[in-house]
Structure 1
């Protein structure tokens, strides 16, 4: 499961500043830690050949292991485009791997395109002059293709890369349990309805809801982000101390200690249950997570199940909030190295990748962000062989729908300090009202420090 910070957010997916680290593990989800790093084959010479006599050669650096989609992607491209040949080079998305990429960007090593998985690293590369302004290419409108959530990746009001995937947070549902209680799959709901569902679905051997502490602040941040992607008031002070924050803390506290539909926070910290396994085993009716869980729900050999899985959007604090922003923004941002000799060819590849070419990445958990992506093909690949065990209409509506997505740029220090406050609220050392004030206090202290 994810760490104990807001991370928006994917993910699982997806990132921003210090909170979103997508592409950072080397397992089947196609992220970047672990495994053998390096190119899919030997690195090519520095790009520069002419078309026809010698094809243009481009290198594309990313953190996803070659076997989890990238090699198939470049093989497909190379077959269709003999005049522009792309080679994939793997780097590990950790400190050493990102340093390797940054060094290559300013050296003689061939890097024509590369993927950034974290906003702070992306911004650093832009400021260092290592990313081309993709606004120069008029044949591909980033926001037109990817939606409003793409604006999160602007630097000085310009796009220096194309975000290609999205990682929304949402609720996985045991549809058989819902059907038994006569409950429809929600298409929109608030925390009150969320709590009601959990209470109706629980029994002596089944939790109504399971979720890691990472998701407790999803409704809080989603209420504050709105369209402005900010966590502050107009006067620059923290917006955490507000009635919606208090309500969120109160609802989760009531679910733990009054309804007993959600495992108490302290018990979860102590026992560290594998929540995705709890879900496939039928030990919880609902699971608040991201698309990363489908790798467990798809694994029928290791985790056999007989029930059908459905999906619902993350609950708003109040059902009627029209300006709510869902956690799990866009990520996997592909940039062009300004030193490439073939920027037009690189842009052609990126456009193809975003609109259709990244299809092989879907099986590893990458949810394409482009509105022009063939959704049915991606869903078919993601759930191949187990499609009959899913309510695919709800899956497509949530994972590939048009929910407004965003991610918090809350700094790492504030996130860490706020987690301790959530711990105190959900162990009943602080009331929800006191917790909201404390969340704002530490945020204001760090805002003041950062402005000095």
Structure 2
């Protein structure tokens, strides 16, 4: 009898146990409907989803804080930041990782030609599979420049443009106003007036010699071609640009000669903050140096002016830059939805720590005032904020060159020849068009 009662009790327990377990798992934390889970979420008893984000910004300049913030808020989806250098070797490292077994769930594109190449190689996910985020409504019409075959394969997260940094104290000493619009003639005149025995009027790397040229040609096409499909580089505006820069180097001596710059490889941003150059043609990346007043103390105020047009009265000039830092998802990741959740968060709020390094969020839903405050935190008095806000947060027409990378590399060798006086500006313009046309023909085959 005792054994029979024991068996009945045991059977009751076996029936009750699974019912109790089912009751424990029904509604989770109360924030989800019964029987559903959030995108990419892991169960309470499983390990968290692990994602990697590859980017070129040093981790200490914002990315690590970004992923730390996300990881604290999302214990079920943990992100690791992996840095690659944005040069040929670094991009090859990323591309190799994308086609190998190395973990790459998301990555940042900084160059359109490489972005397009990765799309064609099948290494960027078509984002049209997600319908809960209107990219153009969030980022503005400039986002459409990153479409390929009318589809987005990445999310452009920041505004970037090339512009001119100015030593305002030196401007004031010469009675020169902060330019709000200027051409290369005025640009050259400022550099000549600001130079002295120990100060260059302008510091500029070879990367920016083509900015006025491209800005003048983008009205014709993103590929910088004419209506007939041939290169637009062989034109008077190109010749004019090459001539002005040559005059600044060899006639005015207000710009460091190209040969000297190649030989000495000076840190131009440090030259500027040390007062060795009155103007610096650069991008928002200079914030890393101008904000670092502990390592690079300075007593002068920094101001900003837009990039010079070739001719001041050009109504159709488009400023180099546009939207950038385009984050793509690797189609081979097992956690596409989780990666998408991170990307949306990053664009709309998560990239705030990047603002200290000068990265301007492109999403209209981003707390811009917070970004601005963070950019200048502790150093507000060392900037002419009105001029910087006018340039960085204004309504300058921004464009995006889709010049193929091979042409850009080959054209750089031509700029080198012009600025070492091996080619005249007229010959240089013809050569720029020649190599562009050759590559256009190759790409069309």
Provide the rounded CA distance (Å) in 2 between the counterparts of 1:341 and 1:268: 47
Say if 2:396 is the partner of 1:406: no
Distance 1:89 1:280, change over 3 A: closer
Provide the rounded CA distance (Å) in 1 between the counterparts of 2:269 and 2:67: 32
Q: Deviations over 1:273-295 (max 9, x none)?
A: 32222211212111111122222
* Matching residue of 1:265: 258
Larger radius of gyration: 2
Correspondence for 1:417 among 381, 399, 410: 410
Distance 1:116 1:51, change over 3 A: farther
How big is the shift at 1:386? 1.7
* Matching residue of 1:300: 293
Provide the rounded CA distance (Å) in 2 between the counterparts of 1:97 and 1:230: 25
Provide the rounded CA distance (Å) in 2 between the counterparts of 1:393 and 1:326: 19
How big is the shift at 1:138? 3.8
Provide the rounded CA distance (Å) in 2 between the counterparts of 1:136 and 1:185: 47
How big is the shift at 1:298? 2.0
* Matching residue of 1:61: 53
* Matching residue of 1:74: 67
Following superposition of structure 1 onto structure 2, how do residues 32-431 of structure 1 map, counting pairs within 5 Å?
A: 49=41, 57=49, 59-63=51-55, 64-81=57-74, 85-90=77-82, 92-93=84-85, 94=90, 95-104=92-101, 112-226=105-219, 228-338=221-331, 343-431=336-424
- Identify which range, 319-328 or 329-338, moves more after superposition: 329-338
Provide the rounded CA distance (Å) in 1 between the counterparts of 2:178 and 2:112: 34
Q: Deviations over 1:209-235 (max 9, x none)?
A: 111122111100111112731211111
Is the contact between residue 307 and residue 319 of structure 2 (CA under 8 Å) also seen in structure 1? yes
Q: CA RMSD in A?
A: 2.8
How big is the shift at 1:121? 4.3
Say if 2:443 is the partner of 1:450: yes
Unaligned runs of 5+ in 2: 1-38
Is the contact between residue 200 and residue 276 of structure 2 (CA under 8 Å) also seen in structure 1? yes
How big is the shift at 1:147? 2.9
- Identify which range, 362-371 or 307-316, moves more after superposition: 362-371
- Identify which range, 330-339 or 160-169, moves more after superposition: 330-339
- Per the alignment, in what secondary structure is the counterpart of residue 363 of structure 1? helix
TM-score by length of 1: 0.79
Correspondence for 2:430 among 428, 437, 440: 437
How big is the shift at 1:165? 2.1
How big is the shift at 1:268? 2.6
Structure number having the greater helix percentage: 2
Is the contact between residue 91 and residue 100 of structure 1 (CA under 8 Å) also seen in structure 2? no
Is the contact between residue 171 and residue 312 of structure 1 (CA under 8 Å) also seen in structure 2? yes
TM-score by length of 2: 0.81
How big is the shift at 1:53? 7.4
Provide the rounded CA distance (Å) in 2 between the counterparts of 1:199 and 1:125: 44
Distance 1:59 1:318, change over 3 A: same
- Identify which range, 55-64 or 381-390, moves more after superposition: 55-64
Q: Deviations over 1:332-385 (max 9, x none)?
A: 222234466665554333222112210012234433222332233223223322
How big is the shift at 1:183? 1.8
Provide the rounded CA distance (Å) in 1 between the counterparts of 2:437 and 2:120: 27
Provide the rounded CA distance (Å) in 2 between the counterparts of 1:104 and 1:381: 38
How big is the shift at 1:181? 1.9
How big is the shift at 1:141? 2.2
How big is the shift at 1:113? 3.7
Q: Deviations over 1:73-92 (max 9, x none)?
A: 2333344456x533224253
Is the contact between residue 172 and residue 289 of structure 1 (CA under 8 Å) also seen in structure 2? yes
